[in-house]
Structure 1
Amino acid sequence: MKRRTKRVAFGLGFLAIAAIVLVVVLVITMLSPAPPPPKGPSGPTTQPEHRPEAQPADCPDVLVLSVPGTWESKANDDPYRPTANSRSLMLRITKALQGKFPQSRAEVYTVPYVAQFRNPTVLTDKQRDYNDSRAQGKRRASAKLAETHGHCPLTSYVLMGFSQGAVIVGDIASDIGNGRGPIPEQDADLVLGVGLIADGRRESGKQNDVAPSPDGVGAEITLAPFGSLVPGIEMTGPRPGGFGTLEERTYSICASGDLICDAPRVTNPLSAIGKLANAANNPVHAMYATTRYWSAGGSTATQWMFAWASRLIDEAPHPAHS
């Protein structure tokens, strides 16, 4: 009996020691660093297989596409030297970029479109309807992107817009990021960044909101429940799919109290449309080139956007040219 007891005790002791050893081995294994990954080929990375190694000599490294706001453009304006409105907010950014970079590095293209917003509450207002203006701006911007991408497959893009122009640029960015845009989904990585100032379809938190940023939403979202109740002015609501794969590369600036991008809830659509039509003149919406209603580290919205775009262009690839 004593020998059996000793054998049992010895067996249990051996199992206990074995268990301890096993635990120690497992702990050491888990805490040990993983083996280094196999080394890849040295040297610069190559282009994706569907892209050529070089592009035509007349192609820019980067296309900066800018869409001005309401009353800041005309359908026949010069896209490289716009003169429709010398006080256009976007000109503060695009002119500075043209002065900093040669056209071979950054082609700066300002989309010419009617840029109007007829106020249906004023019978004498003969401007083009918002629907027509917005649609023309999007068609022309999309055509320029598609044309450039077809001829210059290695060119990168910086997209930016203000007010109605921000709605247009945001809609195109949403299309690209969700695989339905003028630049194919497989090439969406060529879009380096999207910059929006006072976006009428803004949703807080659905992109990089540049602080300080209000929690409100764009006027087109606030008024979306009323659909196209007012002829010529369709409020389209949130963008389907948001910005998709471009969400992390999209930056939005909105000043608190700007009715275009920080709109309150409304119950009277006709009255709200009238306010929206005149919002381009409200002191908050018109002051993004100053620090009065919005600033980041002492910079105005236009200064912030210029610095952001400059950094993207500085860091953009330098594709080979044939």
Structure 2
Amino acid sequence: MRKALTVIAVVLVIILIGGGVVQWLRTSDQAPIDDPFAGGPTAERAPGTTPAPSSEPEWCPAVQVISAPGTWESAPDDDPFNPQANPNSFMLSITQPLQEAYPIEQVRVWTVPYTAQFRNIQADHEMSYDDSREEGTRKVKDELRFVGETCPSTEFLLTGFSQGAVILGDVVSEIGQDKGPVSADRIRGAALIADGRRENGVGQNPGVELSGVGGEIALQPVNGLIQFVTPGATMRGARSGGFGALDNRVQQICSPDDAICDAPQDIGNGIERARDLIEAHGVHAMYAHNDAVIPSTTADAWVVDWAHNLINNPPER
């Protein structure tokens, strides 16, 4: 049984490491924004948004979008307003359309610049998963705190993929339980794609019904074995308290059979699960093309539409 569990742990961790393999080729005619506080396309202010009070700095937006890329899709020195670390980053398919639709003084799109690595026995030189997500979490909280205090009228949308979804999910969980850097009423919504700590019934699922759970929940019982394969990658299980007051504002998007967010809950049943998990590995890289996640659309297109709706029609609370 120990051998079987070890094999399952190895396979699942390999899949977890694949969190950043979304390398869908894409092109864009968008010109880079050199000045993060000016430039970008012009657009009329969307309905439902109001200019920032005169007591705030002129750059304060009505809405700040915080985007958290997945593993190997970011870097600690990347430009948060014009990220270049990975031109094929999945999150660019969400952030670039929003930057094209709104001027930065209305919607400020900020991408988390963090190491985004996942050390394993074949890449011992990389930062550990624990350290990487801790770095990302710290930067998200610092940005929320800075903008929240500087711009009292600004509200936030958060969206992330894979390791980035775990980071933002943890931050939103704290905010929803009144433990975060801003109050829950400042969060218009969060969209988490392939969250490794996803639970059925926690947050809202706009897609198809799922039977599994996040990989960090499925693997928590064998966390000790995980450390032999990926040192410093703690499988932390479910989030205590879920998303609290923000539960109805958090969208949990996951593809069936993506073992990052839809892992089997009975991994201890032996080595026969390994083949199924390996075959499902490619699913994690297909969110920009897979219309089986949310019928008749793709995850990134759905999130862009969701963001437009919340920006143009702020919810009444």
What TM-score do you get using the length of structure 2 for normalisation?
Answer: 0.75
**How many aligned positions are there?**
257
Q: Aligned partners of 1:53, 1:215: CA distance in 2, in Å?
A: 50
Q: Aligned partners of 2:110, 2:141: CA distance in 1, in Å?
A: 12
Instruction: Indicate if the aligned counterparts of 1:209 and 1:251 stay in contact, CA closer than 8 A.
Output: yes
Deviations 1:11-60 (A, max 9, x none): xxxxxxxxxxxxxxxxxxxxxxxxxxxxxxxxxxxxxxxxx895332211
Aligned residue in 2 for 1:128: 127
Question: What is the alpha-carbon root mean square deviation over aligned residues?
Answer: 2.6
Alpha-carbon spacing, 1:228–1:103, altered in 2? closer, same or farther (3 Å): farther
Q: Aligned partners of 2:109, 2:209: CA distance in 1, in Å?
A: 28
Aligned residue in 1 for 2:308: 310
Aligned residue in 2 for 1:233: 233
Deviations 1:126-153 (A, max 9, x none): 2211111111010011110011101011
Aligned residue in 1 for 2:104: 103
Identity of aligned residues (%): 47
Matched, 1:188 2:184: yes
Alpha-carbon spacing, 1:156–1:292, altered in 2? closer, same or farther (3 Å): closer
Cα offset, 1:293, TM superposition? 4.3
Instruction: Indicate if the aligned counterparts of 1:213 and 1:255 stay in contact, CA closer than 8 A.
Output: no
Q: Aligned partners of 2:307, 2:237: CA distance in 1, in Å?
A: 28
Alpha-carbon spacing, 1:234–1:306, altered in 2? closer, same or farther (3 Å): same
Q: Aligned partners of 1:189, 1:144: CA distance in 2, in Å?
A: 17
Alpha-carbon spacing, 1:309–1:228, altered in 2? closer, same or farther (3 Å): farther
Regions of 4+ moved over 6 Å: none
The aligned runs of 1:55-204 (5 Å cut-off) are 55-120=56-121, 122=122, 124-183=123-182, 187-204=183-200
Which has the greater radius of gyration? Answer: 1
Q: Aligned partners of 2:293, 2:73: CA distance in 1, in Å?
A: 21
Instruction: Indicate if the aligned counterparts of 2:206 and 2:294 stay in contact, CA closer than 8 A.
Output: no
Instruction: Indicate if the aligned counterparts of 1:284 and 1:293 stay in contact, CA closer than 8 A.
Output: no
Aligned residue in 2 for 1:43: none
Instruction: Indicate if the aligned counterparts of 1:200 and 1:219 stay in contact, CA closer than 8 A.
Output: yes
Which structure carries more relative contact order (alpha carbon 8 Å, separation 6+)? Answer: 2
Amino acid across the alignment from 2:174: D
The aligned runs of 1:279-318 (5 Å cut-off) are 282-291=281-290, 293-296=292-295, 298-316=296-314
Aligned residue in 2 for 1:9: none
Aligned residue in 1 for 2:208: 212
Which stretches in structure 2 are left out of the alignment for 5+ residues?
1-52
Amino acid across the alignment from 1:241: G
Which stretches in structure 1 are left out of the alignment for 5+ residues?
1-51, 318-322
